[in-house]
A and B are shown apart, each in its own frame.
Chain A
Amino acid sequence: MSGARYYDIRHVQGQATVIDIDNGVVESAASSFSDHAVIRALTRQGWGVLTVDNFQEPGRHDIASLVRRAASIASICNEEISLSPPVRGRHEVPALHEDPRDVSLDEKAQILLELERSARIPGISNTRINYIERFEKVRFSDSTGYEDEFGICRSGFGVLAVAARNGTLQMGYERRHTIRGLNIRHRQDLARQAAERAVLLLDARPARGGTMRVVLDPELAGVFAHEAVGHASEADLVQEGNSVLAGKIGDRIGNDVVTIVDDPSLHEFGFEPFDAEGSATSRTEIIRQGVLANYLHSRETLAAVGNGQAGHARAAAGEIPLVRMSNTFIEAGESTREEILEECGQGILLKGSRGGQVDPGRGVFQFNAEYGYLIENGECTTMVRDVSLSGEILKTLFSIRLCGNEVRMHQGYCGKGGQSVPVSDGAPHILLEDAVVGGSGDH
């Protein structure tokens, strides 16, 4: 069609409801509606892409016109692109244990107000809850005649508690998001945990920076897997020459206790029934027992780079598909948490995540813990705050000495190319040798 060797259309219609409660005040409880489509046409010169709001499912004639337009703007490109053969398939979206649409906005607000009240313990000066539920209906079709669709609801909340004393402010934060339905009932324990941590952090000390043994809790170790390995394994970056993992397939890049996986077919927050190119999703072992085994791929990068399988193309509504992580985790090892702390001896336990970032070409990453504890003689002692950790991708996996025996997943959003997509990261507790910890304190 009109110079296009291939085209596809991804149309996403959505409805999002957001409730924001700040110190007992319902600041907003609003629903919004969206309708975005992306039409991609592949010509002999490269990709031409149209993004259109308010798509309204045009007829065949209109589609031909849109594809012609997309193909025409590809004339400025100069790259011959191949696509790997399509592998189709889909995973069913799990049933919602309670459909958020069946619960009124008023009832949700009342539940959230109660949840927020649970965080108001002595020492807390401010509490805030944000709730979001987003329903999306995703339709995919392409020039081979393939078409499929799914609907999914992602919802969840974050609760923030701020502790104040003599001009010092600290915060505790907990969040839970899910694809399995309303998750805000009976979560007062989480709100209280956030508040109690904020109060404790008022007396915590800034950590002393330097090189030391570090134990990461499952949440932070999941971020570590995401930042230290996941991004650099995205094959678009490999293809651009912007990843230190380029050319390393089959190389040992970590100890044999380390197996790192990305699996968009898992029913976790990064779940995709099929990917943004209509490809089947499945488990990809990025690192298998310390050896780089696969990259994460779209159809284009699989054809160009090899080593792996397509099914890792993801896109925010109205955005172009990019190679992305979904549910990324370090496989469980055999050690208990107590064994890991004992083996650490002297060091620091880092917990919770304030996010991270990576420069995959340089091979350097950073992420930040919400708090931690000094480890002395295998025991957690003094609480510390504002601790970050940086490292080099090609060295850091050799520093993982032990992996715990229980993996836990945590939900969040990942940014790349101006797009934010839901992800989950997970891991067991892990012990790192010679990690570079950032902190400005004396302890």
Chain B
Amino acid sequence: MVHRISSSKMRWWVAVEIIDDILKAGSRSADEVEVYFAEGQSASAELKRDTVSRSIESRYFSLSIRTIAGGKIGSSSTSNPAEWQKCLDAALASGRLATGQAWGGLPGPQVLKGPDLSYDPAVRPGAAAVKGMLEAMVEGAMRHPVQVTSGGATISTGTVTIANSHGTRYSRDQSLVSASVEAIRENSTGYEFEISCSADFDPASIGDRAGFLAASSANGTGISSGAYDIVLSPLAAAQLISAVIVPALSGRNVHAGRSRLAGLAGTAVAAPAISVYDDPFLPGKPGSTRWDAEGTPTRKIPFITDGILGEFAYDLKTAYRYGTAGTGSAVRSGSGGMPSIGHHNLVIAGPECALMDEPAIFIQDVVGAHTANALSGDFSVELTNPFRVKDGTFEAPVRKAMLSGNVFLLLESITGLGRDRRTIGSLVLPSIRLKDQHIIGG
């Protein structure tokens, strides 16, 4: 059957027909077939300085197919569902080449009750709404003596469906609202953003915070190289943790010898009160879901509990290969991405307290976190918006400095978590205070 697909939104029953056709056709050549279908639309707009200069409307489709035959996994994807037969053929060809492995089957159907966790039906993509967000951010930023340089706002909704030849078929709606703005005063910049499944944040507050950072960071003074107590904002902490800790928690990296945490389960790898876990059930968080990218029911995963390393994250392929159970940790990145090990909402938790009463260097963001050594954890990054803080207030900006250290050792050096827990992408974490960190003045 040939389906004509126009470039307008695909009708859902057409997608259902295609999924059924693929499962039927694929099952003739493979033991198992999986179809992952995503479609959606978004409205976004961009600021150039304080003026709305570009309005964008997008529609997207992606169809991903996996086939499993004799423990060999094949895959392919396309943005043109009408060409699903070509995509299926490519997946089967890919499977013939893959190395076979122990395989216990795609997940069968389960009853997963509850509303969609990352969807707000009140969210509707529209040009007027994104314009309003941009204008509010500009208004917020202009409370400070700064110039807005750029910004953006996006509202998107979509649906993802996974189905396999065992009769598993889940579908969920998702929504996302995001906004960001950048401001400058002389050569001092400030950047802030929010991302949520609902329009539940105040865009003016985003602008206000960016304006504050730009205005307050101007005319900073130098700092001598040495050891300092520091406070990493949720954003700065998220950058370093994403670069090093997240890949080290992947079961695949653990078994492949690419994780420094391998072999340390049951031992202390973080300060005693610190816990790190994946919670896929947090309502309203963009990463929340009841089933993962392979259709495995999700669960809370205690990676680190009170400083002690517990378990690692697995997708089905890695779990079957190493004789353990999947943890529902498969995620897909980008359009047409295949499942890989990740997390849904990585939470860092522990007793929270006031972090800035005692003197410290507060660090809002870092430049170059992605250049950290993901294996060893060593890093050295440039600081963005660093301030000397004392008695709970920002005393003075620091002009320029670097921070060097090791991200694994940072976990062990945590002396306090703030009360400002925040969602940064798929991480949920507060500010973090650390003792005696190595700062290099410039």
Interface residues of A (CB under 8 A from B): 22-37, 46-56, 58, 62, 69-70, 73-79, 81, 105-106, 109, 125-126, 128, 162, 164, 167-171, 206, 209-211, 237, 239-242, 244, 320, 354-359, 361-368, 385-388, 390, 392, 436-440
- Which one, B80-88, B355-363, B425-433, is touching chain A? B80-88
Cβ of B52 < 8 Å from any Cβ of A? Answer: yes
User: Do A209 and B61 form a contact, CB below 8 Å, given A33-B80, A386-B380?
Assistant: no
Within 8 Å CB of B380, what residues of A? 209, 368, 386-388, 438-440
Tell me the chain B residues, 406-442 only, with Cβ under 8 Å from chain A: 406, 438, 440, 442
Within 8 Å CB of A31, what residues of B? 76, 90, 93-94
A362–B442 alpha-carbon span in the complex (Å): 14
User: Do A28 and B53 form a contact, CB below 8 Å, given A34-B79, A361-B182?
Assistant: no
Determine how close the nearest CB of chain B comes to the CB of A351; give it in whole angstroms: 14
Within 8 Å CB of A73, what residues of B? 43, 55-57, 127
Contact assessment for A23 and B256 in the assembled complex, using a CB-CB cutoff below 8 Å: yes
Contact assessment for B7 and A361 in the assembled complex, using a CB-CB cutoff below 8 Å: no
Cβ of B48 < 8 Å from any Cβ of A? Answer: yes
Beta-carbon contacts of B56-77 to A below 8 Å, as 1s and 0s? 1111111000000000011111
A241–B81 alpha-carbon span in the complex (Å): 43
Determine how close the nearest CB of chain B comes to the CB of A226; give it in whole angstroms: 13
Determine how close the nearest CB of chain A comes to the CB of B173; give it in whole angstroms: 19
Contact assessment for B54 and A359 in the assembled complex, using a CB-CB cutoff below 8 Å: no
A77–B372 alpha-carbon span in the complex (Å): 40
A35–B79 alpha-carbon span in the complex (Å): 6
Out of A33, A77, A440, which one reaches B78, CB within 8 Å?
Answer: A33
Determine how close the nearest CB of chain A comes to the CB of B207; give it in whole angstroms: 15
What are the 10 A-B residue pairs with the smallest beta carbon separation, nearest first? A438-B380, A368-B371, A366-B368, A386-B378, A242-B149, A209-B440, A366-B382, A125-B257, A440-B404, A438-B402
Contact assessment for B56 and A49 in the assembled complex, using a CB-CB cutoff below 8 Å: yes
Beta-carbon contacts of B186-212 to A below 8 Å, as 1s and 0s? 011100000000000000000000000
Q: Determine the residue in chain B with the shortest Cβ distance to A25.
A: B99
Contact assessment for A33 and B77 in the assembled complex, using a CB-CB cutoff below 8 Å: yes
Contact assessment for B371 and A169 in the assembled complex, using a CB-CB cutoff below 8 Å: no
Contact assessment for B52 and A76 in the assembled complex, using a CB-CB cutoff below 8 Å: yes
Determine how close the nearest CB of chain B comes to the CB of A387; give it in whole angstroms: 7
Contact assessment for B258 and A126 in the assembled complex, using a CB-CB cutoff below 8 Å: yes
A47–B53 alpha-carbon span in the complex (Å): 6
Contact assessment for A54 and B82 in the assembled complex, using a CB-CB cutoff below 8 Å: yes
* Residue with the highest number of chain A CB atoms closer than 10 Å, among B6, B55, B406: B55
Within 8 Å CB of A34, what residues of B? 78-79, 335-336
Contact assessment for B55 and A47 in the assembled complex, using a CB-CB cutoff below 8 Å: yes
Within 8 Å CB of A362, what residues of B? 184, 187-189, 384
Within 8 Å CB of B373, what residues of A? 170-171, 354, 385-386
Contact assessment for A363 and B127 in the assembled complex, using a CB-CB cutoff below 8 Å: no
Contact assessment for B127 and A105 in the assembled complex, using a CB-CB cutoff below 8 Å: no
* Residue with the highest number of chain B CB atoms closer than 10 Å, among A31, A126, A354: A31
A342–B80 alpha-carbon span in the complex (Å): 59
Tell me the chain B residues, 113-127 only, with Cβ under 8 Å from chain A: 127
A34–B149 alpha-carbon span in the complex (Å): 34
- Ordered by A's residue number, 30 sampled pairs between the chains whose C-beta atoms are within 8 Å are A22-B252, A24-B99, A29-B94, A32-B76, A32-B90, A33-B80, A33-B90, A46-B52, A49-B54, A50-B57, A53-B80, A73-B57, A76-B55, A77-B52, A126-B258, A162-B258, A164-B257, A240-B48, A241-B49, A241-B149, A356-B368, A358-B367, A359-B189, A362-B184, A366-B381, A367-B371, A390-B400, A436-B440, A437-B440, A438-B440
Cβ of B338 < 8 Å from any Cβ of A? Answer: yes
Cβ of B24 < 8 Å from any Cβ of A? Answer: no
Known A31-B94, A46-B53, A54-B81; 11 more pairs at CB < 8 Å: A33-B76, A51-B57, A73-B127, A76-B52, A76-B55, A164-B257, A361-B184, A386-B373, A386-B378, A390-B382, A438-B440
Within 8 Å CB of A358, what residues of B? 367
